[in-house]
A and B are shown apart, each in its own frame.
Chain A
Amino acid sequence: MLFSLDFEWLADPLYQDWLLEGLGTTLAITGVGTILMLIIGVVGAAIIHFNIPVAKPLTIIMIDLFRNTPPLVQLLFLYFMLSDLGMSYTDATTGERIPLLSGFACVVISLALYNGSIAIEVIRSGINSVPRQTVEGGISLGYSRAQIFRWIELPIALRLTIPNMTSNVVSLIKTSAQAALVAVTDVMFYATQITLETFLNLEVMIVLWLIYLVITTLVVLLAKQLAKALTIPGFGAGAMK
């Protein structure tokens, strides 16, 4: 008992299972979401950097669309609207029309697009801060534009933007809590479930808060280690202290 808070429910094996299962789902969403987000970031930044016709304006439209609208609106759009627009398939065994994207897929895609759009801008800013002389050094060594991007600009840009990208990953983890709204059983979903059964809103929300805090803190610590290991000597002097 702490200020008459009741944490006895934490000893209930069912609630423990629920929280662990929810934690697993949350980590799966954020893991897959982060990977897709980084891929979108690199590919999008490359498209803009190389000024690829057609693809570049489309990428810029995508960035504006997803970065400037609430991720929850995007998620509900994916989940409820796409099947209305015909994105569904017919189940071979039952003959019923089933929406193409599961709740889980909708959550991962919406997070990847939202945070991916931010990632494109983050990586682009990194590419823009690669010193002109370094690129010229590559040219004088006979590197092609693609080689300069792959071996000089991108590696430096990714190193330089670790702090910004970390914030982006943390934002993705936090936004993943909206999965509960489309019936995906993440840790937020199960926490709500527990409050509905125990009526201990404050206590359950404190635990939920700590769970998210621990996840994001671990990610930030990991990113710091990564930043330290990848420091470019004489360049930015360890991007993150």
Chain B
Amino acid sequence: MIMSSLIKLSLAAAISGIAVGATARADQLDDIKARGKLIVGIKNDYVPFGFLTKDDQLKGFEIDLAKFVAGALVGSEGDIELVPVVASNRIELLNAGRIDLILATLGKNAERAKVLDFTEEYYNMAGVVLMAPKETTISKWEDVRGLKLCGMQGNLYNRALTGTYGAQTVLFTGTADMFKAFQDGRCAGLAFDGPILQQKLSDPEWGKKYKIALDTFNYIPIAGGVRKNEPRFLEAVNKAILAAEAAGILVEAEKAYNMGETEYVAKRAADAKAAGY
């Protein structure tokens, strides 16, 4: 029984592999030009990268980039279809052919590189930050040695916390448990994604007692994602991203969406300009 279902499973895997291979053989860049629009997977719930404004407009750092890329590839910035995606479905949507390009805070890593091709990077996202009570004595990451830090299972930076900085992690499976345990005083600090903790501090009850004690030690490069084996399309997208950087689109977007003007984006813009894009 188990054997036969295992055989069925591996057959299904093999067949889906063939299907993906077949779609990849057509040249995507020509398809998009013939179709007359670029279909981009973006986020619509992640301020400031991609979000809906009060009057139902999609805005954000990555939306601006997506529009520029569509303009460069198809002809005008309006030749675009924006498809909202979430972290758990974006890669499947891409490989199923539903979207051409992911511009949805996709962090670069080796695991993902096995299933898709990354484009040029365009942002450097702050990863883990440390939240602690306001009166904490922790002033640098080295101070957490031997301390208990609450966190969530499944974040790769947990390893650096225990390995590099010698902290004792207390890891939960859900954010509710994690926040409760931290509030109960089970840990000296809470090590978790920067944007989420920053947002938590806007709750007055939390803002009163806690602060972001340490900024991140790990930045995750954010890049676009395209299907594997589409060299012409990938090259065209890469050129468009570099052109967007050179044209100052991303520097402007950082200002427009209050993201702070990072050295990273400014440097990439200068480099792209110097390289003649």
Contacts and interface: CB of A to CB of B under 8 A. Distances in A.
A16 to B, nearest CB: 15
B185 A88 contact: yes
Contacts of B3: 3
A98 B133 contact: no
A196 B154 contact: yes
Interface in A147-193: 180-183, 189, 192-193
Interface residues of B, number: 23
Contacts of B153: 189, 192-193, 196
Nearest to A4: B10
B13 A98 contact: no
Contacts of B150: 183
A116 interface: no
B6 interface: yes
B111 A183 contact: no
A180 B171 CA distance: 9
B170 A103 contact: yes
A3 B10 contact: yes
A97 B184 CA distance: 8
Query: Chain B binding site: helix, strand, loop or mixed by DSSP?
Result: mixed
B172 interface: yes
B173 interface: yes
B181 A183 contact: yes
Contact of A99 (B13, B177, B184): B184
Contact of B173 (A4, A83, A192, A197): A192
B211 to A, nearest CB: 15
B186 interface: yes
A80 interface: yes
Interface in A23-46: none
Interface of B: 3, 6-7, 10, 13, 111, 133, 137, 150, 153-154, 156, 170-173, 177, 180-181, 184-186, 188
16 contacts: A3-B3, A3-B6, A4-B13, A79-B181, A80-B177, A83-B185, A88-B185, A96-B185, A98-B186, A99-B184, A103-B186, A181-B172, A183-B172, A192-B153, A193-B153, A193-B171
Closest 5 CB pairs of A and B: A196-B154, A3-B6, A183-B170, A83-B184, A4-B10
Interface of A: 3-4, 79-80, 83-84, 88, 94, 96-99, 103, 180-183, 189, 192-193, 196-197, 199
